[in-house]
Amino acid sequence: MPKVLISDKLSPASVEIFKRRGIEVDFKPGLSPAELRAIIAPYDGLAVRSATKVTRELMEAAPNLKVVGRAGIGVDNVDVTTATARGVVVMNTPYGNAITTAEHAIAMMFALARQLPEASASTKAGRWEKNRFMGVELFGKTLGLIGCGNIGSIVADRAVGLHMKVVAFDPFLSEKRAVELGVEKVELNELLERADFVTLHTPLTEQTRNILSRGNIARLKQGVRIINCARGGLVDEAALYDALKSGHVAGAALDVFETEPATDSPLFGLENVVCTPHLGAATAEAQENVALQVADQMADFLLTGAVSNAINMPSVTAEEAPRLKPYMELARLLGGLAGQLTAAQGDAITAIRVEYEGHVAELNRKPLSAAALAGVLTPLMGAVNMVNAPVVARERGIEVAETVHERRGDYATLLRVTVVTDRQDRSVAGTLVGDAKPRLVEIKGIPVEADFAPHMLYVTNQDKPGFIGRFGMALANAGINIATFHLGRSAQGGDAICLVSLDGPLPEPVLAEVRALPLVVQATALSF
Ligand SMILES: NC(=O)c1ccc[n+]([C@@H]2O[C@H](COP(=O)([O-])OP(=O)(O)OC[C@H]3O[C@@H](n4cnc5c(N)ncnc54)[C@H](O)[C@@H]3O)[C@@H](O)[C@H]2O)c1
Ligand SMILES: O=C(O)CC[C@@H](O)C(=O)O
């Protein structure tokens, strides 16, 4: 039974989901990094919000970890690069808290426009300062939206409802989508010059860090108001402080900060600043949504292999997962065979090609290619799985190509994996028998029909009389039983191949004896 640890304050509904799905779950929010490292080893899954920092050190202490689930959107508290390198899937819940966060941004905009927090504090303090709190209307004002994805689009929709004019800067926003949303797509400079209110809804990346830099803040209209419910680091806080002090910026509402928890900041001393402690996603509804979603996604992955909303792996729907499973196994086995044959020769791989023909060509091929790559690379590089295989290949300069053949051949499904090295191309192909059982049908262009077995021996030899007898005797003399025996050849008297399955691993001295037999070109022990 898979084991999951919930290390942040997720809604208790997530615990129920894990239990109902047959997953052992521990709910331990609030542990220190050292305490977490001390207990993480047995867990297959880790579910977090933003408090837990899923660092390299934590993952190194988690040899069983297969999936990190983020109940929320931003994964900046997860070292995704390390997770990918270690073959750990990282998934988030991209929509569950979007409405709530958009509503928080709108609430912050109202709070700024009417100075609600200050007015509330003053009234509660017994001062009836009716003249002090003169606000501004939102009606007819221009809202500048930096980032128009899930949350930005909802903010745009609500702002249009308030009869604001919305201009959006987002390089990935299409004109068509902008028209659908009722927003005007503009460049950043134009947004800075036109907006009465600016709201940020991008992730924090190298491109967006300090997108409201000192220079860009200076370009903003006199009296502009700024709202940030996305990520600290998008706004230069020191420059914002100066602009607020000088009155160039009339107000700022911040839910997120460069350093969190933010317990001390010069911005806190300014009247025209409204702050909340990263509350964007903090509603009962959003927390229920993300907790249920992350628990279901993680359970699906751990129990069926279905992958949704992964940051570092292609998606496999819950419906596809059982259908794809035997094809993934076929891809892994074929990759494993090609990889072991290549490893035995010590050749450096320059390219890996995966070809699809027949029924398999109509399936979701990304996970199949990833499984084939993992199969090829594992014998050469150790712990490679579908998550890290594409990255490992890219890092080593291995070109990966996928080809789909329209033609229908002898098999209803045919998957071929070719490993290209400086010396030669090695290709192997296979099919599924009864849509379920992987079968090898070709090695290096030579037809051969064989099932995969845990222990196999592959021999290439010259197609001349005498080989089979000597080979059989060599194994028999060593007390090794041949379970199945398959032969193939390119042409009479040409290259021949022999693939046998054995009841156990082949001892090294017997392999050496086989290699020394007359007519043998090479012999490789295989394991699957
Ligand atoms: N305050 C909170 O509690 C809270 C809650 C949820 C999400 N968030 C944060 O809100 C942000 C947005 O979330 P989302 O769900 O809308 O994400 P999203 O991926 O749907 O949208 C982000 C948008 O930013 C755009 N973008 C990327 N780079 C850009 C650039 N250089 N300039 C302009 N636009 C750029 C993308 O094209 C995309 O449309 C994330 O950082 C997320 O972590 C905060
Ligand atoms: O979990 C939270 O409270 C914050 C979540 C938010 O920052 C997100 O990116 O989804």
248-270 pLDDT tens trace: 999 999 999 999 999 999 999 99
Tell me the pLDDT band of 395, cut-offs 50, 70 and 90.
confident
pLDDT (0 to 100) of residue 409: 82
Q: Torsion over CA of 492, 496, 501 and 502, rounded to 10 degrees?
A: 110
Q: What is the pLDDT of residue 318?
A: 86
Structure tokens at 303: 């129990």
Give the ligand 2 atom nearest the CA of 50. 1
pLDDT of the residue at 525: 96
Q: DSSP of 216-252, one letter per residue?
A: HHHHSPTTEEEEE-S-TTSB-HHHHHHHHHHTSEEEE
- Asked if the model's pLDDT at residue 506 lies above 80, the reply is yes
Percent of the chain at pLDDT > 70 equals 100
Mutational test site, ligand 2, from 6, 14, 50, max ligand atoms within 8 Å of CB: 50
pLDDT value of residue 435? 81
Mean pLDDT over residues 306-332, rounded?
92
Domain contains 280: no
Q: Which of 452, 468, 500 is the last residue of a domain?
A: 452
Q: Would you state the pLDDT for residue 493?
A: 80
Q: Are residues 412 and 520 in the same domain?
A: no
Bridge partners (DSSP) listed for residue 527? 455
107 and 36 within one domain = no
| Residues 220, 133 share a domain | yes
Catalytic residue among 57, 184, 258, 260: 260
72 lines ligand 2 (CB under 6 A): yes
Q: How far apart are CA 519 and CA 190, in angstroms?
A: 77
Distance 299 CA to ligand 2 centre (A): 21
C-beta separation of 526 from 456 below 8 A: yes
**Quick one: which atom of ligand 1 is closest to the CA of 281?**
3
CATH number for the domain that contains residue 392:
3.30.1330.90
Do residue 293 and residue 405 come from a single domain? no
Q: Residue 395: helix, strand or coil by DSSP?
A: helix
Q: Specify whether the CB–CB gap between 156 and 168 falls below 8 A.
A: yes
Q: Are residues 320 and 425 in the same domain?
A: yes
Same domain (yes/no): 176, 50: no
3-class secondary structure, 360 = helix
Specify whether 74 is located in the same domain as 184: no
What pLDDT does residue 39 have? Answer: 98
> Per this entry, what is the length of the chain?
528
**Residue 140, CA distances (Å) to 135, 243, 253, 345 in order:** 14, 24, 20, 72
Concerning whether 278 is annotated as a catalytic residue, the answer is yes
Q: Which of 225, 231, 416, 426 is catalytic?
A: 231
Residue 494: give its domain's CATH number: 3.30.70.260
Please check whether residues 111 and 247 belong to one and the same domain: yes
Question: What would the mean pLDDT of 434-457 be, rounded to a whole number?
Answer: 94
What is the pLDDT, as a whole number, of residue 96? 94
- Ligand nearest to the CA of residue 93, numbered in listed order: 2
| Nearest ligand, CA 151 | 1
Decide if 104 is catalytic: no
Q: Please give the mean pLDDT across all residues of the chain.
A: 95
Highest mean pLDDT among 110-114, 386-390, 517-521: 110-114
Specify whether 119 is located in the same domain as 178.
yes
**346 pLDDT exceeds 90?**
no
Is residue 309 a part of any domain in this protein?
Answer: no
C-alpha distances (whole Å) from 344 to each of 105, 402, 427, 502, 524 are 60, 25, 15, 19, 7
Give the position, in ligand 1's atom list, of the atom nearest the Cα of 76. 43
Q: Is 383 a residue whose pLDDT tops 80?
A: no
Identify the nearest ligand to the CA of 50 by its number. Answer: 2
Rounded to the nearest 10 degrees, the angle between the axes of helix 365-381 and helix 320-345 is: 30
For 215, the enclosing helix (H) or strand (E) is: helix 214-219
Place of tokens 């090294």: 508
Asked if residue 50 has its Cβ within 6 Å of ligand 2, the reply is yes
Number of H helices, E strands in the chain: 17, 22
Distance CA 357, CA 441 (A): 13
CA 255 / ligand 2 centre spacing (Å): 11
Rounded (5°) CA angle 315-202-214: 155
User: What is the structure's pLDDT at 211?
Assistant: 98
Under the banding of pLDDT at 50, 70 and 90, the label for residue 105 is very high
Strand 249-254 vs strand 273-275: parallel, antiparallel, or unpaired? Answer: parallel
- Above 90 in pLDDT, residue 407? no
Residue 509 counted as domain residue: yes
- Asked if residue 299 has pLDDT above 90, the reply is yes
Distance 207 CA to ligand 1 centre (A): 12
- Ligand 1 mean position, distance from CA 384 (Å): 31
Ligand 2 within 6 A of 229 CB?
Answer: no
Is it the case that residue 399 has pLDDT exceeding 80? yes
Which residue, 412, 435, 452, sits at the end of a domain? 452
Q: What is the mean pLDDT of residues 277-289?
A: 97
Residue 212: give the domain boundaries: 98-275
| Ligand 1, atom nearest to 74 Cα | 43
- Residue 199 contacts residue 169 (beta carbons within 8 Å): no
**Cβ of residue 305 lying under 6 Å from some atom of ligand 2:** no
Name the more confident of 275 and 434: 275
Distance CA 424, CA 444 (A): 10
Tell me the HSE value of 486 on the side-chain side, using a 13 A CA sphere. 21
310 domain residue, yes or no: no
Query: How many domains does the chain fold into?
Result: 4
Residue range 403-407: mean pLDDT, rounded: 89
Question: Could you confirm whether 260 is annotated as catalytic?
Answer: yes
pLDDT of 154 higher than 90: yes
Mean pLDDT, range 118-145, rounded to an integer: 97
Last residue of a domain, one of 398, 421, 452: 452
Q: Which of 48, 181, 183, 202 has the most ligand 1 atoms within 8 A of CB, as the residue to mutate?
A: 202
Ligand with minimal distance to 105 CA: 1
**Confidence band, pLDDT 50/70/90 cuts, at residue 509:** very high
Do 368 and 385 share a domain, yes or no? yes
pLDDT confidence of residue 491: 86
Q: Say whether both 193 and 319 belong to one domain.
A: no
Active site residue: 248, 278, 439, 455, which one?
A: 278
Q: How far is the C-alpha of 307 from the C-alpha of 320, rounded, in Å?
A: 10
Atom 4 of ligand 1 has which residue's CA nearest to it? 280
Number of the ligand closest to the Cα of 282: 2
Q: Which atom of ligand 2 is nearest to the CA of 231?
A: 7
pLDDT for position 97: 96
More confident residue, 363 or 407: 363
Residue 120 predicted with pLDDT over 90: yes
**CB within 6 Å of ligand 1 — which residues?**
73-74, 94, 97-98, 101, 146-152, 169-172, 201-203, 205, 207-208, 229-231, 255-256, 278, 280-281
Do 191 and 261 share a structural domain?
yes
Q: Which residue has the tokens 């191309």?
A: 425
Q: Please report whether residue 15 resides in a domain.
A: yes
**Would you say the CB of residue 74 lies under 6 angstroms from ligand 2?**
yes
Whether residue 405 is predicted with pLDDT greater than 80 in this model: the reply is yes
- H/E/C letters for each residue in 138-200? CCCCEEEEECCCHHHHHHHHHHHHCCCEEEEECCCCCHHHHHHHCCEECCHHHHHHHCCEEEE
Residue 35 CB partners (closer than 8 Å, separation 6+): none
- 175-207 pLDDT, tens digit each: 899 999 999 999 999 999 999 999 999 998 889
Q: What is the pTM of this model?
A: 0.83
pLDDT bin (cut points 50, 70, 90) of residue 422 is confident
The encoded tokens of residue 325 equal 């499973």
